[in-house]
Amino acid sequence: MAYFYFDFRNVDKQKLHDLLPSLLIQLSARSDPCCGILSQLYSAHDRGVRKPSDRAMVECLKEMLSLEAQPPIYCRILGITRRVMLRICGLT
């Protein structure tokens, strides 16, 4: 289970670039295979010297979610409407 709360009083809690690292860290903390995937992302970006793009983090998350023999993964994203989510993802 991973949680993220979009806080509309805090601009830093309204961006995809803030959501993704939070989910990746929470999922990797509970799963060795997910931790390995996150470690690969870290290594691919000069061991944290360069920040990964949103696209790279989305790909990392997709890889975590597609792992076989893993228990179900649930992500709760609170405090957001569909309209706002579309805006954050750049779809409006």
Helices (H) then strands (E): counts for the chain = 4, 2
Domain residues of the chain, as ranges?
2-88
For the whole model, what pTM was predicted? 0.74
pLDDT digits (tens, 9 = 90+) for 19-74: 889 889 999 998 999 999 999 999 999 988 999 998 999 899 889 989 988 788 77
CA 14, 17, 20 angle in degrees (round to 5)? 100
